[in-house]
Structure 1
Amino acid sequence: MEQGKSDSNEVNDNNENVHQDLSPSSLNEVMIPKIGMTFLSEDEVRNFYKSYAQNVGFGIFKLGGKKGDDEKQKYFCFGCAKSGKTVSQAKNVMYPRPSTKTNCKAKINVVIRNDDNFVISSVSLEHNHVLSPGKSRHFRCNKLLDSTTKRKLELNDQAGITLSKSFHSLVVEAGGYENLSFDERKCRNFISEARRLRLGDGDVEALSNYFCRMQSRNSNFFYVLDLDEESRIRNIFWADARCRAAYDYFSDVVTFDTTYLTNSYDMPFAPFDGVNHHGQSILLGCGLLSSEDSETFIWLFKSWLTCMLGRAPKAIITDQCRAMAIAIEEIFPNSHHRLCLWHIMKKLPAKLGGHAQYKMIKKQLKNIVYNSLTVDECDERWMTMIEDFNLENNDWLKFLYEQRNEWISVYVKDKFWAERHRYNILTPLIQEVPQLGANNDDSCSILVKILKDAKEKLIAIQTDHSRADQLKEASTSSSKTIHSRLKVRSRGRPPTKRKQSKIEQIVKKSVAKARKKVIEGPTVSVEELNNMENGKHDSLVHSDAEKRFED
């Protein structure tokens, strides 16, 4: 990936004292875009507009388009590379990264007719920035590496020749820097990607053997390899039989994330995760990617969809990655897309940490996100927070508010997300507590004591709940009868093979004495005698037993 491409599509030439020159002599060399001009393909339109932009002195890129009901493209537009506004991605809000975006409105709109001809429907040639024809070759859209140059750079890198020497030889061969359609950074980025795709000795064979071995054990093992123009492995996807079987039952919500780890080849690990009926995370497939652009994600999502027999998930959760959003919109158009709330809240210290009232802002923002019950309440409290802390000019919060229907709980609660609300509340606290306890030994000992006490209380509460549930179940069950202690004690081992306790011996003698009294004189009724045998005459038997036991 090229360095620094997130904020600009061309070099920063705002400070150059080069004035716009649109004299007839300079424009006669290239045709000016006009309404009604017809082309045969999108590439032809791109090449025409790029040639015009290169002569005038600005960069271009595709702004967007729209498809019809038949999934065919109906129109699109090319515009100036300085169009639109960029949300600052700087970690320190006091030192934002500079951006070349000026919200320039120069563009051409192209309509695709029924006869498959591409016709320019509207043209805007007005720019709100300085044009630089002399530096057009530095614009990203004009930086190109042909196959011959790529092959020469890679061979020199494998031979141990430094990139500086290789680039200098290309400059000498072309007759000067101005005759090259690329710069040294373009070459350096290509070599970095080539090294990343160049596996070590035996790695390809080991990977192929592993996949073949897994597929021979189970025919439901699925894997796909993405190769580049030179048949080198670029991206990998695989899923075993357990992943495919789990997706048959738990295809409601899928989480996709590429922030886990990278290996020795700097390839991001991209797992597809789901949630089972126990609320536990399950693996639904994974991949290794060479880059994180929209084309790579489109390939990965297509491969995963093929693996799952074309059944798209009902909902998918990702982080704030525009490339992922583009790929999801194309591959999973009917799936509900939500941004990961944990990733957004994790950025609070980096985005708002420099504010004097950061703790109050953080507390109020969490209250808005987690405790808002209605959409109107959420909007009202958000506006109040912005006004109270003077955050009207914070680009990050503006961007979050524009996307509020994709991540705030109150906006997405009508869809099933298998979310664990208590987990989302506890996760930020669990991350902050270890940092506070690691300051010194006293804080650490206090924190350990508090956590141990909390753990014991939680265990005690769970134990009490389980006992209460058992008693409730026993009392409400009609098939179970609560017996006396003597009867319960006598159940189990036969009386003839069980050693009687002292209490049982006294009770046995009391019963025998009562029987004798019945025979000699009926001082005890038959009903009382039966109660004594069943262990229910507690007033007579137990009092007599306790008295004898004390003697």
Structure 2
Amino acid sequence: MRIKPNGDSGIWYVSRFVDDHNQDLLPAKFVPYLPSYRKISDVNLAHIDSLRQVGISIPKIYESIAAQAGGFNLVPFTKRDMYNEHMSDLFWSDRRSQDDYKIFGDVLAFDATYGRNKYNLPVVVFSGVNHHNQTCVFATAMVSCESQALYVWVLRKFLECMGGKALKLVITNGDRSMRLAIQEVFPEAHHRLCSWHLLRNVTVNVCKPRFTMLLRSCLLLYHHTNDRLWCIKTTGAHNK
């Protein structure tokens, strides 16, 4: 297809079009290897897990499955797919993060809005604020989906990792699965919405700049007032 501008009107138009596909289609024998066609069946998953439990490596398992199928070209998935299937959910927290949580973990932000990675998995971040108003990360998780059941698993791992210290107040973006998971694992915790998400939703849905500005002022005023109260209390404690 060739497009040119009209010299008089300046409007672009199609000057030449060939109604033939200009690229060769993928041969049928390679179609099963396209990402949208590759799939590990439940039977193969169970077989892979059983072999992994006895210490057999992924390459050896793949060779075994290929031998049973009659050749590598008859296996409906790749070796990389097996690695991706093997690690679906991951929770991580180091000792420094756990020590920070012991001191600054009364208020925690539970955020799953971070961008996805090369594994196409959402990243969950547990963070808080220290006494210098700096963000500190308590734990992170990479999950295969954003369901209530999986959030329950993440929160229970978080509770176990932090020595059983329960949350007192948790801030989220209002996701329903998150809210239900928090109610199940931390029934005594207070749940609040993130001010950043509130302002973003108001900006997108209300579309009234003055209202957004007033709401932002109220939120910041509350934040600065708490900062001043904290400074007064801290100063008073030092004076004593």
> Which TM-score band applies after superposition, normalised by the shorter structure?
0.5 to 0.7
What residue in structure 2 maps to residue 258 of structure 1?
Answer: 112
Query: Could you tell me how far apart the structure 2 residues matched to 1:153 and 1:281 are?
Result: 40
Q: 5+ unaligned residues in a row in structure 2: which ranges?
A: 1-39, 47-64, 227-240
**Contact 2:125–2:139 under 8 Å retained in 1:** yes
Q: 5+ unaligned residues in a row in structure 1: which ranges?
A: 1-147, 162-190, 201-230, 353-357, 372-407, 414-418, 423-551
**Contact 2:110–2:125 under 8 Å retained in 1:** yes
1:324 aligns to 2:208 (yes or no): no
What residue in structure 1 maps to residue 199 of structure 2?
Answer: 345
**Contact 1:271–1:287 under 8 Å retained in 2:** yes
Query: Could you tell me how far apart the structure 2 residues matched to 1:243 and 1:289 are?
Result: 20
Q: Secondary structure at the match of 2:214?
A: helix
Q: 1:311 aligns with which of 159, 162, 165?
A: 165
1:364 aligns to 2:198 (yes or no): no
What residue in structure 1 maps to residue 29 of structure 2?
Answer: none
Query: Could you tell me how far apart the structure 1 residues matched to 2:169 and 2:131 are?
Result: 16
- Cα deviation digits, residues 175-195 of structure 1 (max 9, x gap): xxxxxxxxxxxxxxxx9xx99
In the TM superposition, what is the alpha-carbon distance from 1:314 to its structure 2 partner? Answer: 1.5
What residue in structure 1 maps to residue 156 of structure 2?
Answer: 302
What residue in structure 2 maps to residue 242 of structure 1?
Answer: 96
**Structure-2-length-normalised TM-score:** 0.57
Paired residue type of 1:364: F
Q: Secondary structure at the match of 1:199?
A: helix
RMSD (CA atoms): 3.7
Residue identity (%): 30
Paired residue type of 1:260: Y
Query: Could you tell me how far apart the structure 1 residues matched to 2:171 and 2:200 are?
Result: 16
In the TM superposition, what is the alpha-carbon distance from 1:267 to its structure 2 partner? Answer: 1.3
Change (3 A) 1:195 1:318: farther
Query: Could you tell me how far apart the structure 1 residues matched to 2:163 and 2:113 are?
Result: 27
What residue in structure 2 maps to residue 151 of structure 1?
Answer: 43
Q: 1:273 aligns with which of 119, 127, 136?
A: 127
- Cα deviation digits, residues 43-73 of structure 1 (max 9, x gap): xxxxxxxxxxxxxxxxxxxxxxxxxxxxxxx
What residue in structure 1 maps to residue 62 of structure 2?
Answer: none
Paired residue type of 1:292: E
What residue in structure 2 maps to residue 199 of structure 1?
Answer: 83
**Contact 1:273–1:284 under 8 Å retained in 2:** yes
Q: Secondary structure at the match of 2:126?
A: strand
In the TM superposition, what is the alpha-carbon distance from 1:160 to its structure 2 partner? Answer: 6.2
**Contact 1:254–1:316 under 8 Å retained in 2:** yes
Query: Could you tell me how far apart the structure 1 residues matched to 2:195 and 2:79 are?
Result: 35
The count of aligned residue pairs is: 164
- Structure number with greater Rg is 1
**Contact 1:305–1:312 under 8 Å retained in 2:** yes
Paired residue type of 1:366: M
Paired residue type of 2:83: L
